């Protein structure tokens, strides 16, 4: 990499009040509209939505409006929206709630989020068959390869579970085609849309998806809530994981928190309204960031599908520099991540990067930058400059 020119590249952001936040794939702060919608429900309006009195009924109506907004975003029927604590619970409910006596096999790929892989692993300990689907070099599950793998040993009906947008490498799967393949074999398709909701078109009804899950804090809603969508026709097949007062068709007992549901609903409505605008903005940020790296001749490769990828999501393999060293140098200036945030702190390289075919040392050279709706073009430039400078300093230290 050539030395950075003295002029035109901003120095590290030593005077900034706080680092730039470029980890929206890990969590996105609630939008202003979301906070506004939540406030009355954090104050006097709060009541138990399952209570039979006037205040309870008002809270219930607010929750039902939120359910409708979430259903609209997903192209589904409000009847099938089950509020959960987040996507981890929703993925667990999808797998553990459907697998058992009549469905006894799961297909999923090694690049999936741990909230799919771990329940699959524990179901395998209880006799459920698990088959790992192959992915190509861009992390795509190819329809014909999946078709060949779906012939389960005992051809019992099962469940295929797939992340729509991969949180680590950004690749978006063609879930409409994969749903057709799953259905040809009599299996259901569950799609984890935590990373794509509101940023990439998806419709449970037109894409014929049987189940979809969402995470509110990935789509500018409050943390602590998410949803599992299930085609209402399949509701009787879903066994509860959390039992109690029988709320939400008895499949997810517990009092629904009105302030969280209302915030999630507001985030869904906002996402639905401004999806295209947000997508274009995020893509422009990522393009500006990469253009600056290219202009400075940085050697890197963008992991995942370069076209069908989560808008604003960049997973960069930078050969020759350890990602944790780069992140440490970026720490005062930019908040980014190595692989998945959930996996950070683990000593092992990310399971998803390894499943993509990277060796241990390559997987440790991957940094994820993810832009958000409030990221500005100037910040993309500043972040790229910080990255270039961090790498240059690491190389300079290595020189004898």
Residues at the interface with ligand PMP (CB under 6 A): 86-88, 113, 115, 163, 167, 192, 194-195, 215, 226, 342
The smaller minimum CB distance to ligand PMP, of residues 130 and 394, is found at 130
Structure tokens of 130? 């698990």
**Minimum distance from CB of 10 to ligand PMP (Å)?**
31
In Å, how far from its chain's centre is CA 85? 15
In the residue annotation, 386 being an active-site residue is answered as no
**Minimum distance from CB of 160 to ligand PMP (Å)?**
16
**Minimum distance from CB of 217 to ligand PMP (Å)?**
6
Beta strands in the chain (DSSP E): 20-21, 81-84, 105-109, 129-133, 159-163, 188-192, 211-215, 226-230, 301-302, 313-317, 334-335, 366-370
The smaller minimum CB distance to ligand PMP, of residues 261 and 390, is found at 261
Can you spell out the DSSP letters for 25-52? TT--PPPHHHHHHHHHHHTTT---TTSS
Helices 114-124 & 87-98 angle (0-180, nearest 10):
30
- Residue showing the smallest CB distance to ligand PMP in the complex: 86
The smaller minimum CB distance to ligand PMP, of residues 167 and 173, is found at 167
The smaller minimum CB distance to ligand PMP, of residues 76 and 163, is found at 163
Helix, strand, coil % over all residues of the chain, rounded to 5? 40, 15, 45
| H-state helical runs in 75-110 | 87-98
**Minimum distance from CB of 138 to ligand PMP (Å)?**
17
Q: How many CB atoms lie within 10 A of CB 251?
A: 21
Which one is catalytic: 145, 223, 342, 394?
342
- The DSSP 8-state label assigned to residue 86 in this structure reads S
User: What are the catalytic residues?
Assistant: 342
């Amino acid at each position: 990499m050539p030395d950075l020119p003295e002029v035109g590249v901003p120095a590290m952001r030593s005077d900034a009040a706080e680092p730039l936040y470029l980890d929206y794939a890990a969590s996105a702060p609630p939008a202003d509209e979301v906070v506004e919608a939540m406030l009355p429900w954090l104050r006097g309006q709060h009541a138990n939505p399952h209570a039979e009195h006037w205040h309870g009924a008002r809270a219930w109506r607010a929750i039902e409006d939120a359910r409708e907004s979430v259903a609209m975003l997903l192209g589904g029927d409000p009847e099938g929206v089950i509020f959960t604590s987040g996507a981890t619970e929703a993925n667990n409910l999808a797998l553990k709630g459907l697998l058992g006596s009549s469905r006894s096999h799961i297909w999923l790929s090694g690049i999936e989020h741990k909230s799919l892989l771990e329940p699959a692993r524990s179901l395998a300990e209880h006799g459920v068959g698990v088959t790992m689907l192959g992915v190509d070099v861009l992390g795509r599950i190819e329809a014909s390869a999946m078709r060949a793998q779906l012939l389960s040993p005992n051809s019992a009906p099962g469940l295929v579970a797939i992340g729509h947008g991969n949180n680590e490498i950004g690749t978006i799967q063609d879930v409409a085609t994969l749903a057709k393949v799953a259905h040809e074999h009599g299996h259901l398709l569950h799609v984890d849309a935590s990373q794509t909701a509101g940023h990439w078109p998806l419709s449970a009804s037109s894409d014929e998806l049987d189940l979809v899950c969402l995470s509110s804090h990935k789509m500018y809603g409050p943390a602590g809530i998410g949803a599992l969508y299930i085609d209402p026709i399949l509701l009787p097949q879903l066994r509860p994981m959390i039992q109690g007062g029988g709320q939400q068709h008895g499949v997810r007992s517990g009092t629904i928190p009105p302030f969280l549901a209302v915030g999630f609903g507001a985030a869904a409505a906002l996402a639905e309204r401004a999806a295209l605008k947000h997508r274009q903005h995020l893509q422009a940020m990522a393009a500006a960031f990469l253009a600056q790296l290219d202009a400075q001749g940085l050697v890197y490769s963008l992991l995942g599908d370069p076209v069908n990828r989560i808008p604003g999501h960049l997973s960069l393999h930078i050969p020759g520099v350890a990602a944790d060293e780069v992140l440490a140098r970026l720490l005062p200036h930019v908040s980014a991540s190595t692989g998945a945030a959930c996996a950070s702190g683990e000593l092992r390289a990310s399971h998803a990067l390894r499943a993509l075919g990277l060796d241990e040392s390559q997987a440790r050279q991957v940094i994820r930058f993810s832009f958000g709706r409030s990221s500005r073009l100037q910040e993309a430039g500043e972040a790229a400059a910080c990255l270039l400078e961090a790498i240059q300093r690491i190389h300079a230290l290595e020189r004898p």
